[in-house]
A and B are shown apart, each in its own frame.
Chain A
Amino acid sequence: MSIEFITFIVMIGVFLAGCFAANLPVGLSMVLSSVSGIIVGGFIGGLDLTLLDALRHMVEGMFAYVDTILVITCAMVFMKAIEKSGTLDAIASVIIEKFHKRPAIMLCLIMLIIMFPGMITGSSTACVLSAGSIMAPVLMMMGVPMLETASILAMGGLLGMIAPPTNLPAMMIGAGIDIPYSGFELPLAMMTFPLAFAFALMFGYKYVKNMNYEEVQAKLNTAGRKEFGFRIYLPLIVAVVLMVAAKMIPAFSIGMPLVFLISAVVAGFCGYKVNLAQVGKESVNSTMAVMGILMGVGMFIQVMTLTGVRGLIVTTCISLPGWALYVAAAISIPLFGAVSAFGAASVLGVPFLLAFLDKEEIIVASALSLIASLGDMMPPTALCGIFAAQVVGIEKYSAVLKKCLIPCLIVIAWALLFIVFANQLSFLIL
């Protein structure tokens, strides 16, 4: 048995023991797992490490997620600010009033709105916490139960991250073998929009088709709209304009955290009074656990790479022959996504693209990015699942993950079909 395999087993064992036997927070369990990896793979494995080296690796690894943490925290500030300002209620009531007669179209439209921030920024968290938080009350008022609403949000977040024009995992996979990000638009659109509409209808249609509008109308909170008029929508308009401006004119790219913070500040002046300091405190509190997980994950990946465990996993996954390679891609990429969807795209996406090099590479890279997106539904990080549950008010996000299991399997099957028929689908590349 190789030292890398032993290290891997020990790291996983310590992580599970930390989570389940000692009931420690997930982030802390990952730290302990990383420490065990350093001890077994580094010190016992003979890597010639000093204590300072070990500390340096653990601290350095955490920096991989600084940007992600900033986006998540700022998106949460935005979400809470527009909730308190009354913007959320205003938008929900407008959408229901305008579209209640065509429930199927309304569901698809809602799904597109949820996906939009991800299509522009490439972040699933942005989808769930911004557009998702706006659409969740709409769905629930129309009669879609909390769990189904959270599932629509989560799947919308995943597919929004992958839908064109901005798909960061595809860019990362392409960059691994120097493919410019060009020609991906139509394949990505074909991979995401049909699934997105199907999932929206699958989760929501049976609840909204017989919606009693009078009942729903009575529940709509239109006070904010009446009191503040058009300006109550300004925070959302500012967020959309800043996101689109960054995409259209790169010089205006101020970064997602700042987009969310500016929009949150605007919310403070456009509706009901918002105590921004209090909103900031609440947001940091509610994202603290996720921050801890991401820091732990960064440490965990660095130790895995340092000790050769990453090499072992990647080589084992792509060494399978024929059809087993498809199975390996379908299983290993989402599993590795447990540490991060982007990490899975970069670490496993590139080797799998090389393994499928006899096929049309843009189609394959797009399909692999779709599989990699599922990492955001894989615990312990499960960013989409966690935040979707949080937005609708479900305590345990595991219920959302369970509900999304079949859609996730459909996503995998859809992506594999694209890989299998990649050469035949090359006409999609314009």
Chain B
Amino acid sequence: MEKNKKLISGVLCLVLAVAIIVTTSMNFLAVREVPYPMMGPSVSEVKMLSDWNPNLKDTNGDTPVYILKGEKEGGSMLILGGTHPNEPSGYMSATLFIENAVVEQGTVYVIPYVNHSAATHNDPGEGNLQYFTLTTKSGERTFRFGSRATNPIDQWPDPDVYVHYPSGQQLSGSETRNINRAYPGRPDGNLTENMAYGVMELIRNEDIDIGFDLHEASPEYPVINATVSHQVSMDIASVGCMNLLMGGIEMSLEQSPTNFHGLTHREWGDASDIRAAILMETANASQGRLRGATTIEQVLGGRDKCYTKSLELGFLYVPWEEVGHPIEERCGRHLEGIKQYSLAHNEVNPEEPIVYSGVPGYQELYLDATREELDGTHLAKFLM
């Protein structure tokens, strides 16, 4: 009798375990499908990053590169979203650019999910959302909320200590899967280094003049509402930053530290002839260690009661008002930044300008919205 009881409870536990494994496995497999932007008016071609680094072909590190070509020859610009797919304003700004930009002169390369692999999973322990849905012009569209680092299914295990190539800088082993510590990358390296190498090859082969890497940071992180620029582009960055400030956008400007390696704003400038290497940070309420419960309001509305408390305690590096930092403000900052820095680039390089229109900026995305629309609702109006 006792034996039978044990057998029955064992079988029940096994059945329950199998049911949980099957259900959650199907869920984890489904998130490997990343929703891509639709083809905007200037998209002339969609290539893959493997066109610049063939090692990426048929891997989860390969990712679409949208090419927006103007009618007139001009300079060339690169925009990266999704360096960290847990920072939604990066890939949402890239998506907004692809679906709205009308490029008149020059060529713009946009990679919405530069670490494609990182968009296919979530960080264990962080309790993040997997998806969020917006009602766009074409109906409901679902977007992924991913991870900061390459999916361990694609690159595993991490070493105990990550040694950056070629500087030899040491970081925590998990940073091995962070593409923004992997530049300039190498073709005989791991998947993340190969992705970084693909971006570097794109920059070198397409003679990119100005490159943007769009990020978010937790509100308690010191570098926030900020632009970080390589020393080669401090002239362009200074002019652009002043124009942003005059337009009412709080923005600090920092020069890329020379002793911190692997980041876009350092290695793009060091390892290529790029004229401007610029990284921008906005405030993401869903990212920090001080944040409250995971909600859609936190991710898209940028509101969190824990951060309201943290502001009172003096822990934040950004202003924190009741409105929070909604996705409209964060994407507005990025897209306005791209506009102002590219205009500054055109002033410095009048023979090879990059001219585009149609992309909503800070005014259209944020200032023109009503308070109730500041949760992705207003931003969705600019998506196809």
Hey, what's the 0/1 contact readout for B162-189 against A, CB within 8 Å counting as 1?
Answer: 0100000111111100000000000000
A182 contacts B169, C-beta separation under 8 Å: yes
Partner pick for A171 among B152, B161, B223, CB 8 A cutoff: B161
Chain A residues with Cβ below 8 Å from B222 are 177, 354, 357
B161 contacts A308, C-beta separation under 8 Å: no
Q: How far is the CA of A122 from the CA of B314 in the complex (A)?
A: 34
Partner pick for A302 among B125, B175, B260, CB 8 A cutoff: B125
Chain B residues with Cβ below 8 Å from A247 are 161
Q: How far is the CA of A253 from the CA of B160 in the complex (A)?
A: 9
Is residue A106 within 8 Å, beta carbon to beta carbon, of the partner chain? no
Is residue B336 within 8 Å, beta carbon to beta carbon, of the partner chain? no
Inter-chain residue pair count (beta carbon < 8 A): 147
Is residue B139 within 8 Å, beta carbon to beta carbon, of the partner chain? no
Residue of B nearest to A63 (CB): B124
A122 contacts B24, C-beta separation under 8 Å: no
- Given A255-B159, A306-B127, A351-B220, do A182 and B293 touch, yes or no (CB 8 Å)? no
Residue of B nearest to A339 (CB): B125
- The dominant DSSP class at the A interface is helix
Is residue B36 within 8 Å, beta carbon to beta carbon, of the partner chain? no
Which stretch of B112-120, B198-206, B305-313, B356-364 is in the interface? B305-313
Q: Which of B124, B290, B291 has the most CB of A within 10 A?
A: B124
Interface size on B, residues (CB 8 A): 46
Is residue A376 within 8 Å, beta carbon to beta carbon, of the partner chain? no
A347 contacts B289, C-beta separation under 8 Å: yes
- Given A48-B295, A305-B127, A307-B293, do A178 and B160 touch, yes or no (CB 8 Å)? no
Residue of B nearest to A243 (CB): B160
Question: What's the minimum C-beta distance from B379 to chain A, rounded to whole angstroms?
Answer: 20
Q: How far is the CA of A72 from the CA of B170 in the complex (A)?
A: 24
Is residue B192 within 8 Å, beta carbon to beta carbon, of the partner chain? no
Chain A residues with Cβ below 8 Å from B350 are none
A311 contacts B292, C-beta separation under 8 Å: yes
Question: What's the minimum C-beta distance from B154 to chain A, rounded to whole angstroms?
Answer: 14
Chain A residues with Cβ below 8 Å from B174 are 172
Question: What's the minimum C-beta distance from A57 to chain B, rounded to whole angstroms?
Answer: 6
Q: How far is the CA of A354 from the CA of B306 in the complex (A)?
A: 17
Question: What's the minimum C-beta distance from B196 to chain A, rounded to whole angstroms?
Answer: 16
Chain B residues with Cβ below 8 Å from A312 are 292, 306
Partner pick for B24 among A56, A171, A302, CB 8 A cutoff: A56
Chain B residues with Cβ below 8 Å from A354 are 220, 222, 315
Is residue A315 within 8 Å, beta carbon to beta carbon, of the partner chain? yes
Is residue A322 within 8 Å, beta carbon to beta carbon, of the partner chain? no
Is residue A250 within 8 Å, beta carbon to beta carbon, of the partner chain? yes
Q: Which of A52, A246, A306 has the most CB of B within 10 A?
A: A306
Is residue A18 within 8 Å, beta carbon to beta carbon, of the partner chain? no
Is residue A220 within 8 Å, beta carbon to beta carbon, of the partner chain? no
B127 contacts A57, C-beta separation under 8 Å: yes
Q: How far is the CA of A177 from the CA of B288 in the complex (A)?
A: 12
A302 contacts B124, C-beta separation under 8 Å: yes
- The dominant DSSP class at the B interface is loop
Chain A residues with Cβ below 8 Å from B175 are 175
Q: How far is the CA of A304 from the CA of B125 in the complex (A)?
A: 9
B126 contacts A250, C-beta separation under 8 Å: no
B290 contacts A314, C-beta separation under 8 Å: yes
B172 contacts A172, C-beta separation under 8 Å: yes
Is residue A236 within 8 Å, beta carbon to beta carbon, of the partner chain? no
Question: What's the minimum C-beta distance from B167 to chain A, rounded to whole angstroms?
Answer: 9
A255 contacts B157, C-beta separation under 8 Å: yes
Question: What's the minimum C-beta distance from B98 to chain A, rounded to whole angstroms?
Answer: 30
Chain B residues with Cβ below 8 Å from A60 are 24, 122, 124
Question: What's the minimum C-beta distance from A157 to chain B, rounded to whole angstroms?
Answer: 16
Partner pick for A301 among B125, B130, B170, B310, CB 8 A cutoff: B125
A47 contacts B294, C-beta separation under 8 Å: yes
Is residue B45 within 8 Å, beta carbon to beta carbon, of the partner chain? no
Question: What's the minimum C-beta distance from B166 to chain A, rounded to whole angstroms?
Answer: 12
Partner pick for B23 among A52, A182, A304, CB 8 A cutoff: A52
Is residue A89 within 8 Å, beta carbon to beta carbon, of the partner chain? no
B125 contacts A343, C-beta separation under 8 Å: yes
A-B contact list, 24 entries, CB within 8 Å = A45-B293, A55-B20, A56-B28, A60-B122, A67-B158, A176-B289, A180-B169, A180-B170, A180-B260, A180-B261, A250-B159, A250-B161, A256-B160, A301-B125, A305-B125, A308-B291, A308-B306, A310-B289, A311-B292, A348-B289, A350-B289, A351-B289, A351-B315, A355-B315
Complex A-B, nearest 6 residue pairs according to Cβ-Cβ distance, in ascending order: A306-B127, A308-B293, A171-B172, A305-B127, A64-B124, A308-B292
Question: Apart from A175-B171, A253-B159, A351-B220, what 11 extra A-B contacts exist at CB < 8 Å?
Answer: A56-B130, A67-B157, A168-B161, A180-B169, A180-B261, A182-B170, A250-B163, A257-B157, A304-B127, A311-B289, A315-B313
Tell me the A residues contacting B by CB distance below 8 Å. 4, 41, 45, 47-48, 52, 55-57, 59-64, 67, 70, 121-123, 166, 168, 171-172, 174-178, 180-182, 246-247, 250, 253, 255-257, 298, 301-308, 310-312, 314-315, 318-319, 343, 346-348, 350-351, 354-355, 357
